[in-house]
Amino acid sequence: MKRLALALICALALPAVSQAAAAPKPLYRDPVTDGAADVSIVFDQARREWVMFYTNRRATMKSPDPQDVAWVHATPIGMATSKDSKAWRYRGVARIPAACTGQTLWAPELYAEGGVYHMWLTVAPGVFHRWGEPGATARIVHLTSKDLKAWTCGDTLDLGSDRVIDASVAKVGGRYRLWYKDERQGSRIVAAESPDLVHWKTGGKPVVDMAAEGPKVFRWKGAWWMVADAWKGLIVLRSDDAETWTLQPTRLLEQPGGQPTDTAKGQHPDVVVSGGRAFLYYFVHQSNEPQAKTDPYYGQRTVIQVAELKEADGVLSVDREAPVEQGLAAPEPHP
Please state the pTM of the whole predicted model: 0.93
Task: Look at residue 73 and tell me if it is in a domain.
Answer: yes
Task: Look at residue 229 and tell me if it is in a domain.
Answer: yes
- Distances in Å between the alpha carbon of 298 and those of 110, 287, 290? 29, 6, 9
pLDDT, position 217: 98
**How many domains are there within the chain?**
1
d(CA 208, CA 192): 14
d(CA 62, CA 181): 29
Task: Look at residue 86 and tell me if it is in a domain.
Answer: yes
Q: C-alpha angle 228/266/137, rounded to 5°?
A: 55
Q: Find the Cα–Cα–Cα–Cα dihedral 71, 75, 81, 84, rounded to 10°.
A: 50
Closest of 133, 55, 102 to residue 300, by C-alpha: 55
pLDDT, position 228: 98
Task: Look at residue 21 and tell me if it is in a domain.
Answer: no
Task: Look at residue 279 and tell me if it is in a domain.
Answer: yes
pLDDT, position 41: 98
Across-strand partners of 246? 238
What's 148's domain CATH number?
2.115.10.20
pLDDT, position 326: 86
Task: Look at residue 200 and tell me if it is in a domain.
Answer: yes
d(CA 301, CA 37): 9
Distance of CA 82 to the CA centre of its chain: 16
Task: Look at residue 2 and tell me if it is in a domain.
Answer: no
Task: Look at residue 16 and tell me if it is in a domain.
Answer: no
pLDDT, position 333: 78
Q: What is the mean pLDDT of each run of 10 residues along the chain (335 residues)?
A: 39 38 96 98 97 98 95 98 97 97 97 97 97 94 98 96 98 97 96 96 90 98 98 98 97 98 98 97 98 97 98 98 93 73
Residue 110 lies in domain: 28-310
Residue pair 81/92 in contact (Cβ under 8 Å)? The answer is: no
d(CA 281, CA 68): 27
Task: Tell me the DSSP string of 60-109.
Answer: T---SSTT--GGGSS--EEEEEESSSSS-EEEEE-B--GGGS-SEEEEEE
pLDDT, position 334: 61
